[in-house]
Structure 1
């Protein structure tokens, strides 16, 4: 069995290498050698595991998932490159993830995760508290935290997508293309927004879907006509046995991305007279760069950009 000096390895992967050694997992490295350097293309967990252990079926799957999460933590991946979501439902899986990929999380979420791991793993603690903490961890760690940097976008390809989604609306399409050009100049979203006004059925939602395709980020749909309470969006506190996260946090977790195009339908039909307030007011926090707080998660979720 060969031993390699990992001192020159990408710093993002060093905790992963440490985790492999701590858990005595044997790996096969595929790559090419150039003098004293070895360029790795693939890392695969293999039998035998040291100390007489056996390779669990999920270990290589977990390893590949961790590699992709670390690799895409800085480099923006296209939709085709993003690996399939892997559910981390058990506490050992969550702890392994934090050991390997904790540095890919924003600082406040990393601190929040450590605190909730303690809550979920404490002996003799309240069963509901432990269950809620583990559920919150499982949801939060599904999210890939992207930077606000956008790679250059081809205006010709963007126009093609707009034409596929919508017929006509030339002025609207031209305004979107102008915004794309602005993004290419700064590599970030512009500080201004685009207001789409018009009667039902004129293509406002389709424009939003097209923008999501152009930016290569997922979209989430909210039907506000079914929302009767702000807590449906912001979640309920964990003090309740049946507490659950809000739809906004669920959207982050289900899409697995911190960059989402939210498509909000039927906003005028939201219940404006509920005793707990207007659900539509909650959506204003998504427009701020100060972050969004879900009552169930008990953590501020960055919404920069």
Structure 2
């Protein structure tokens, strides 16, 4: 074999080894199975960017006071200042400005004898008798009390209200959906025999609810047969001097005074006041 033929043979061997290496390299990595892609998928993160993250009490004094006072309200029992600072994560022990504003809060009560702090509720009832007193006092001032407000100050208030309702001491309004207690009022007319306040018998209640309101045409016909007529709804009289379109006040209109006693013209000056003056 000549030197030229030997060089051609060696170059062909090298090409075959190179092509075989590339083919084996491709077969070394198995093809993706089960429909998986060769690209790595990024893990999904369930983050709601429209809601701010809860970073605790923060560094603002107003936010820290809200956290501390809200804990007093939810706790319901007096607590030490040290425990309140640890639970809420607020620097009540180290920040003098925060402590002063916390002590001056209108909903914070400090007991100097025990050095405990508690929340000041609108009502401080702790028994059925004191609860009835608060309801009676509030009703006399012209309104009822929300049951939710009483429950915040005393957790057993709803059960006490139900007992007072069964005894006829209070009147309770309820929601139409689930009949939950909403407002409570003091019952001024007690259910006593002979004085009123007793529940109406079921027979009369059924008779009352069985009554049907007649149509408007029949009502008008009945009124006309008795010589009566339906009253019209009261119409609002617009205020004088106000322009409805532009909202501008108009100048007052002066109308001429009409004199009726014309037969006295020339003898008496009707523009003067002839009332006799009181003599001293």
The interval holding the TM-score normalised by the smaller chain is under 0.3
The structure carrying a bigger helix percent of its residues is 1
**TM-score if structure 2 supplies the norm length?**
0.20
Higher RCO (CA 8 Å, separation ≥ 6 residues): 1
**TM-score if structure 1 supplies the norm length?**
0.19
